Amino acid sequence: MWPKTSFVVATKLAGKVTTSLHNNDKKGISSFLKSLSSQSWCIMEATGVYSLQLAIALHEKGIKVSVVNPLQIKHFAQTNLKRTKTDKVDA
């Protein structure tokens, strides 16, 4: 059983950031992987078992992936004067 039902993805293309929501199951991860090019680099928040399957799938596909401590993400957001802590803002 998957412990968290979804994950949020932020994509930056040509200076524009968009977000999308994906199911955190085999079908949702597979759909997300199909949207990536081989040149993609995924940076994700370390959430233990919640992010493990996605990180493994990215690595197995040969996508560059960095798993970052959530505290670093929080402090980075604070340096940009963001006080909100949600999955969409974190992404």
Inform me whether the pLDDT recorded for 2 exceeds 60. no
Asked if residue 51 lies in contact with residue 74, where contact means CB atoms within 8 angstroms, the answer is: no
Number of domains in the chain: 1
Q: pLDDT averaged over the chain?
A: 85
Q: What is the pLDDT of residue 76?
A: 75
Global confidence as pTM: 0.74
Looking at the domain assignment, is residue 77 inside a domain? yes
**Full residue range of the structural domain in which residue 48 is found:** 6-90
41-45 vs 64-68, strand pairing mode: parallel
Beta-strand runs (E) in 24-63: 41-45
CA pair distance 36, 46, nearest whole angstrom: 20
